Amino acid sequence: MKIHAILLLLLHGVTCFQRDYSNRLYYTVKTTNPNIAQLAATLDARYEGQVGELKQHHWISIPKSSPHITRRFHKRDMLLSPQIPSRHRLFKRAPPPPTAPVLENTEEEYKLNNQTPPLNLPLLTDTDGYTRIKTILNITDPGFDQQWHLLNRNEMGHDVNVTGVWSQGITGKNVIVAILDDGLDMDHPDLRANYFAEGSYDFNNHVKDPRPRLQDDTHGTRCAGEIAAVKNDICGLGVAYEAKVSGIRILSGEITEADEAAALNYAYQENHIYSCSWGPPDLGEVAEAPQGILLDAIQNGIDNGRNGTGSIYVFASGNGGANDDNCNFDGYTNSIFTITVGAVDKMGNHPYYSEKCAAQLVVTYSSGSGGYIYTTDVGENQCSERHGGTSAAAPLAAGVFALVLSVRPDLSWRDLQHLCVQSAIPISLDDDDWSVLPSGRQFNHKYGYGILDAYRIVELAKGFRSVRAQTHLSITSEIDVDNTPLSIQDITPVANTSIDPSTAFTSTLTMTKENVQKHGLSRLEHVTVTVNIEHQRRGDLEILVESPNGVSSQLGTPRKYDTSSDGLVNWTFMTVKHWEESPVGNWTLRVVDGRNPEYRGQFIDWTLTLWGESEIGFFMENKTEHEKNGTRKEPTQSFMDTTNEDEKEEGSFGLYGLVSVFMLFSLASTAYVVKKYMLGTHQYVKPTEEDTYEFDNLLTQEESDED
């Protein structure tokens, strides 16, 4: 084994250890104290190691047979987080059983609704037949004929348009995609050559080999085949058939939040993309989001993964469409740090199962209209003809992103989101949810910005100029205890306001030009809305936000199975529909409660947060040598700039390292700051006495805590 591989195994093996849940209790603690191991020993606890790549999170265990130690730790609940393995927390998003009529169309060629063919350059033309294409590309895989998602002979134009990319020799080389799933059959001939062992681990069994061990451990292998199945004489091939794939096994047994956090960062300098075809249950009745250590892990991947350019997290939107589920009630898919991918079928239709939401960026192909995704399966030379659901859409998108990174490995996580927005192709334009935006683009809650096109996004990436550092600003409608408005200009504060079942409740916040300039926001990207609403039946509510330009995002939809009386407590919705809009003016939140008059609710408050690209020079004092040398060019004109484009001075303030610089700049006001997160996204606040903890205090408190 190469020295590099040995070092990787040693590095990642330090924090991955066998558990003895029968005899020991496990906790994680968040601290900056470098003497955590000694402090744990002082408390008669065992220090088990750092949690993955999270330098401030550590594992500690104690014997179950030592109740005095247990009581001692339980008295410090604010310091320690019990890590109890949970079996039913994350669910695969494999194709659900059909509950809608299957549409067949084998006689006529399907045409894109009300739109001219996409302006791209596919290798397949009127004069180049399918057989010739296979010859040109030297494709001998017998299952390629069934891989319509790669080259659709029957419904021309309904594939990922990748042949023109392959013909340029762009096949995913030097990119590694980690499959966070139920394992990976690394011995399959389709995957053996592209398997990256150093980036793989089994967090269910705590062994290095993520091999499938259960009868239904087929999901991850099928997803891996979509991405990186090699060209050979077996099954089909992957969309990025020379990319590497890692297997990170998390869905086949009990797992703690700390292990999931470690998985999200596992080998995050080697693994470039994390393909995640799972999430909370898609039953249309829950609102669940990662919290605490999980959000720290995602943030850590964004800040430090891929040598500071950010890990790429790709999530399936969810299969709860038939249950009225909406991917904005899933904190993984509505995070600004993830790319949420929905599904369309072989006809370009929106399948009944694919969830819609304002956080969905793009869609790509999967099952429906009688078609499935053909891919690799577990077992010697085994192939699957029935892979589907949004589980199949996410890895297909991850494979396309591998093609992009093979051409431009320097692109950041935000660069890739910009490329999705700019290259996606709207389809099925007769759907009445399409909106023409101030940017000139179109958006649909079912399709996002449209379908992912491999040729278009790769070509756009070749000359793409990276965006500058991220900035954000927030305003809230919260009022103080004296019931007087906060000192925020031109807002309408509302508290404990009844929601009328027959009319829409509205609240308006004003974003001034001065506030936008103060925070250096140049180009709007994500918009998040955090709400506190009490309601006797959460599923009755529809929640929308309208921008100053009159663009409305449907944040939360009514859900027939959501009977929860918990309401929405600090729940954060996200929308990408307002990308590159001007944020200046009135933002209006609308809450509609029109289903069941007998169920009432109270509106408490809401917070609007705008995320986007910073102005040129906003972080100039923190420039790196790379930016000082002027090796990066600036992107397009900002909405705050009124000068003529020809008069704009071309800047040199690039992205390398600036996400991390921004975080340091934001936290510089205090020596010790904790990140406090809202559900679904995060916000940074000055630490309170309750939040700030020093493990040194345990030494002085220990004697008094003894029984």
Q: Are residues 449 and 565 located together in one domain of the fold?
A: no
- How confident is the model at residue 94, as a pLDDT? 74
pLDDT reading at 591 higher than 50: yes
Q: Is 477 a catalytic residue?
A: no
Q: Residue 111: inside a domain, yes or no?
A: no
pLDDT band at 130 (very low <50, low <70, confident <90, very high): confident
Q: Residue 272: inside a domain, yes or no?
A: yes
Contact by Cβ (8 Å): 556, 279: no
CA dihedral for 78, 81, 82, 88, sign (positive or negative): positive
- How confident is the model at residue 33, as a pLDDT? 87
Q: Are residues 50 and 156 located together in one domain of the fold?
A: no
Query: How large is the average pLDDT for residues 320-331?
Result: 98
Total domains present in the chain:
3
Of residues 123 and 311, more confidence is placed in 311
Contact by Cβ (8 Å): 196, 101: no
Q: Are residues 449 and 583 located together in one domain of the fold?
A: no
Instruction: Given the residues 12, 158, 219, 526, select the one marked as catalytic.
Output: 219
In angstroms, the CA 204 to CA 19 distance is: 10
In angstroms, the CA 464 to CA 487 distance is: 41
Q: Are residues 576 and 553 located together in one domain of the fold?
A: yes
pLDDT reading at 107 higher than 80: no
Q: How far is CA 360 from the centre of its chain?
A: 10
- How confident is the model at residue 500, as a pLDDT? 60
In angstroms, the CA 612 to CA 534 distance is: 31
CA angle 404, 406, 408 (to 5 degrees): 65
Q: Residue 246: inside a domain, yes or no?
A: yes
What percent of the chain is predicted at pLDDT more than 70?
A: 75
Lowest pLDDT segment from 93-102, 281-290, 542-551:
93-102
- How confident is the model at residue 88, as a pLDDT? 56
Instruction: Given the residues 311, 317, 369, 391, select the one marked as catalytic.
Output: 391
Query: What does residue 509 show for φ and ψ, rounded to 5 degrees?
Result: -120, 140
Q: Are residues 456 and 502 located together in one domain of the fold?
A: no
Q: Which two tokens stand for residue 604?
A: 């408490």
pLDDT band at 626 (very low <50, low <70, confident <90, very high): very low
- How confident is the model at residue 368, as a pLDDT? 95
CA dihedral for 458, 460, 463, 464, sign (positive or negative): negative
Q: Which two tokens stand for residue 241?
A: 């058939």
Q: Residue 553: inside a domain, yes or no?
A: yes
- How confident is the model at residue 598, as a pLDDT? 86
Q: Are residues 316 and 177 located together in one domain of the fold?
A: yes
pLDDT digits (tens, 9 = 90+) for 672-692: 222 222 223 333 233 333 333
- How confident is the model at residue 596, as a pLDDT? 81
For residue 526, give the nearest of 485, 447, 581, 596 by alpha carbon. 581
pLDDT reading at 436 higher than 70: yes
- How confident is the model at residue 72, as a pLDDT? 64
Query: What does residue 571 show for φ and ψ, rounded to 5 degrees?
Result: -85, 130
pLDDT digits (tens, 9 = 90+) for 57-70: 999 999 988 867 76
In angstroms, the CA 168 to CA 188 distance is: 27
Please provide the average confidence, as pLDDT, over all residues in the chain. Answer: 82
Give the domain-ending residue among 78, 95, 127: 78
Residues in the chain: 707
Q: Which residues pair with 588 in a beta bridge?
A: 508, 546
Pairing of strands 585-593, 568-575: unpaired
Query: How large is the average pLDDT for residues 241-258?
Result: 97
Q: Are residues 289 and 338 located together in one domain of the fold?
A: yes
Q: Residue 279: inside a domain, yes or no?
A: yes
Q: Are residues 260 and 293 located together in one domain of the fold?
A: yes
Report the CATH number that the domain containing residue 679 is assigned in CATH: 2.60.120.260
Q: Residue 518: inside a domain, yes or no?
A: yes
Q: Are residues 393 and 487 located together in one domain of the fold?
A: no
Query: What does residue 569 show for φ and ψ, rounded to 5 degrees?
Result: -110, 110
Lowest pLDDT segment from 103-117, 571-585, 620-634:
103-117
pLDDT band at 643 (very low <50, low <70, confident <90, very high): very low
DSSP 392-428: HHHHHHHHHHHHHHHH-TT--HHHHHHHHHHH-B---
Q: Is 391 a catalytic residue?
A: yes
The 3-class SS string of 527-538 reads EEEEEEEEECCH
On the CB side of 562, how many CA atoms lie within 13 Å of its CA? 29
Report the CATH number that the domain containing residue 186 is assigned in CATH: 3.40.50.200
Give the domain-ending residue among 447, 462, 477: 462
pLDDT digits (tens, 9 = 90+) for 453-512: 999 999 999 999 999 999 999 999 964 433 333 222 223 335 455 566 556 899 999 999
Q: Is 448 exposed, middle or buried (0-12, 13-18, 19+ CB in 10 A)?
A: buried
In angstroms, the CA 317 to CA 356 distance is: 8
- How confident is the model at residue 184, as a pLDDT? 97
Q: Which two tokens stand for residue 384?
A: 């699957």
Q: Are residues 169 and 62 located together in one domain of the fold?
A: no
Q: Which residues pair with 149 in a beta bridge?
A: none
Give the domain-ending residue among 78, 106, 122: 78
CA dihedral for 27, 31, 37, 38, sign (positive or negative): negative
Please tell me whether residue 284 adopts helix, strand or coil conformation. Answer: coil
**CA end-to-end distance (rounded Å), the chain:** 53
- How confident is the model at residue 40, as a pLDDT? 87
- How confident is the model at residue 85, as a pLDDT? 82
Instruction: Given the residues 57, 141, 149, 181, select the one marked as catalytic.
Output: 181
What is the chain's alpha carbon radius of gyration, rounded to the nearest angstrom?
25
pLDDT digits (tens, 9 = 90+) for 14-27: 456 788 989 999 99
Of residues 111 and 172, more confidence is placed in 172
Provide the strand spans (E) within 516-669: 521-535, 541-546, 552-556, 568-575, 585-593, 601-614
Pairing of strands 497-498, 568-575: unpaired
Q: Residue 541: inside a domain, yes or no?
A: yes
Helix ranges (H only) for 97-143 are 130-137
Q: Are residues 400 and 509 located together in one domain of the fold?
A: no
Whole-prediction pTM: 0.82
Owning domain of residue 540: 468-638+645-689
In angstroms, the CA 531 to CA 328 distance is: 13
Q: Residue 131: inside a domain, yes or no?
A: no
pLDDT digits (tens, 9 = 90+) for 346-359: 999 999 999 999 99
pLDDT band at 83 (very low <50, low <70, confident <90, very high): confident
Query: How large is the average pLDDT for residues 427-451?
Result: 98
pLDDT digits (tens, 9 = 90+) for 385-426: 999 999 999 999 999 999 999 999 999 999 999 999 999 999
- How confident is the model at residue 120, as a pLDDT? 44
Q: Are residues 600 and 624 located together in one domain of the fold?
A: yes
Of residues 514 and 85, more confidence is placed in 514
